[in-house]
Amino acid sequence: MRNNIYVLLFILSLLQVKAQLLPSIGLNTIPANSASICAEPFYSGNFYSSGYQQGAAVPDFKLYSLNGDSLVLSQALAGGKPVLLIAGSLTCPVFRAKVATINQVVATYSSNIRIYIIYTLEAHPTDTSVYFGYINVTSQNISAGILFPQPQTYADRKNMADTMNTLFNLTAPVFIDGPCNTWWKNFGPAPNNSYLIGTNGVVLTKHGWFHKSPDNIFCDLDSILNLNSGLCIPPPTIPGSFTLNVLNSSVTGAPNDLLYDYVDLINTTSVTTTIKVKKLIKSLPPVWQTAFCADICYGFNDDSVEVSIDAYDTLHFSLDFFTASIPDSGSVKVGFKNVNKSNNSFSIWLKASTIVNDVSIQNYNKRALPFNVYPNPATNRFFIETSESEFSLIVYDVVGRQKYLSQNEKTIDTSQWHNGIYFLVLKTSDGTFCGKVLLLK
């Protein structure tokens, strides 16, 4: 008990001492809209060990909002309240899923702390992701129509932050990292980490992923601020149970594309349930890779992960297949096991193929495509430009279902289609050719 009192007194002293921040990392002035976004190398490090750790001092910084207001960390801390910084971007589905939690933190603790969102690099753009080294738009982004490239200018990044504000009702103010990602490089690199910084400029608590088990922002804030919000829920004393809803176990697409099989993990009980997901058997062509995407999107080498599902909640899970240029097929046997209940487990084969129906390897033609698709991205229609007078067109969605079939038709009406990627198979007398179009309304 005495040790707990000492710890509490130490934490309270951290909250009350004047900030002794490290030298500022900028910005000195608001960037020009035309300022180019600096390219960053592929980052494969650990989000928990990167940046600053608990007990470390952080640098001062200055960032700007959409309307030109500035956030200076030293000035914010001078108000006598700790500062909570949460990194995010529109294309990070994990961040989007935390909007309700962020708003709850604002509603509960805004009289005790200051909360700010820092808008950083896009996590899952339609071009190469800095966190994966390849294009990984995620099934969540396809379903939600959140399909955007990495911004090229500071104005582009501002537009992304503005789009996020339009789509989501965030009650915390948003400030935008500079063109050369200086905040991200110092406080990250990470897509959705967070820092609670005491008024002395020292990290009180850090989350590699904001409010992701085992970290709990409500428990952290209650403990540090000596409050009882009622939101820090202790771990369950009884094991929960879960079941599966397999949305599709076999997907078909075009060569070189990213394909998805979907499974919903459903917690059927009133307590949080932890599930271990593992690749049990892999039968894949050379070069093909697979990755899990659930609470977060994992890397190729993460063959075993654990996810937690809240009471009566559903977690949308996908196995992502990264295919090659030659048509082929592959499969992975995936196991799902309740960590706390050994008799609650499932295993299923998830499959993918880039041999679309009767499109055979022999017919697959590597020559320049005899057609062009425009505009791409499209909205309510797209056009086929080709010199071929006789051709057929088949359109497939991302789960391999045939969406459209036509003969010699060059204008395709997509006004009733959902946003996302669609695969095109054009058949002519010279062979069969594959392409794709992005629908973004």
Please state which of the ranges 87-91, 185-189, 205-209, 414-418 shows the lowest mean pLDDT.
414-418
- Cβ–Cβ under 8 Å, residues 373 and 422: no
Query: How confident is the model at residue 265, as a pLDDT?
Result: 95
Rounded Cα distance, 241 and 252, in Å: 32
- Specify the long-range contacts of residues 210-217, CB closer than 8 Å, at least 24 apart: 210/86, 210/87, 210/95, 210/98, 210/101, 211/98, 211/101, 212/94, 212/295, 212/296, 213/272, 213/274, 213/308, 217/101, 217/105
Q: How far, in whole angstroms, is CA 117 from its chain's centroid?
A: 16
- % of the chain with per-residue pLDDT over 90: 58
pLDDT band with cut points at 50, 70 and 90 for residue 118: very high
Query: How confident is the model at residue 436, as a pLDDT?
Result: 80
The yes-or-no verdict on residue 419 having pLDDT over 50 is yes
Mean pLDDT throughout 282-306?
89
Distances, alpha carbon 334 to alpha carbons 18, 72, 266, 337, in Å: 53, 48, 16, 10
Query: Helix 217-225 crosses helix 99-109 at what angle (to 10 degrees)?
Result: 20
Mean pLDDT throughout 194-205?
97
How high does pLDDT run on average in the chain?
Answer: 88
Burial class (CB in 10 A: 0-12, 13-18, 19+), 256: middle
The model's pLDDT over 212-251, given as tens digits with 9 standing for 90+, comes to 888 999 999 999 999 999 999 877 778 899 999 999 999 9
Nearest residue to 434 (alpha-carbon basis) of 400, 403, 395: 395
Query: How confident is the model at residue 421, as a pLDDT?
Result: 78
Contact partners, residue 205, CB within 8 Å, separation at least 6: 54, 195, 196, 220, 224
Query: How confident is the model at residue 342, as a pLDDT?
Result: 92
Query: How confident is the model at residue 364, as a pLDDT?
Result: 42
The yes-or-no verdict on residue 399 having pLDDT over 60 is no
In the numeric block, which tokens belong to residue 321?
A: 């297949």
Residues forming beta bridges with residue 351, ordered by sequence position: 250, 331
The model's pLDDT over 121-169, given as tens digits with 9 standing for 90+, comes to 999 998 889 998 878 888 788 878 898 999 999 999 999 999 999 999 9
The yes-or-no verdict on residue 2 having pLDDT over 60 is no
The yes-or-no verdict on residue 3 having pLDDT over 70 is no
The model's pLDDT over 47-83, given as tens digits with 9 standing for 90+, comes to 999 999 999 999 999 999 999 999 999 999 999 999 9
In the numeric block, which tokens belong to residue 32?
A: 């020009």
The model's pLDDT over 250-268, given as tens digits with 9 standing for 90+, comes to 998 888 788 889 999 999 9
Contact partners, residue 343, CB within 8 Å, separation at least 6: none
Query: How confident is the model at residue 400, as a pLDDT?
Result: 61
The yes-or-no verdict on residue 11 having pLDDT over 60 is no
Distances, alpha carbon 80 to alpha carbons 122, 202, 228, 350, 405, in Å: 32, 14, 21, 54, 65
Please state which of the ranges 25-29, 94-98, 110-114, 403-407 shows the lowest mean pLDDT.
403-407
Mean pLDDT throughout 282-298?
89
The yes-or-no verdict on residue 16 having pLDDT over 50 is no
Query: How confident is the model at residue 19, as a pLDDT?
Result: 64
pLDDT band with cut points at 50, 70 and 90 for residue 363: very low
- Residue 369 burial (CB count, 10 A): 14
Q: How much is the CA Rg of the chain, to the nearest whole Å? A: 24
- % of the chain with per-residue pLDDT over 70: 92
Query: How confident is the model at residue 124, as a pLDDT?
Result: 93
The yes-or-no verdict on residue 4 having pLDDT over 70 is no
Query: How confident is the model at residue 335, as a pLDDT?
Result: 97
The yes-or-no verdict on residue 362 having pLDDT over 50 is no
The yes-or-no verdict on residue 366 having pLDDT over 60 is no
Query: How confident is the model at residue 42, as a pLDDT?
Result: 87
The model's pLDDT over 27-45, given as tens digits with 9 standing for 90+, comes to 999 999 999 999 999 888 8
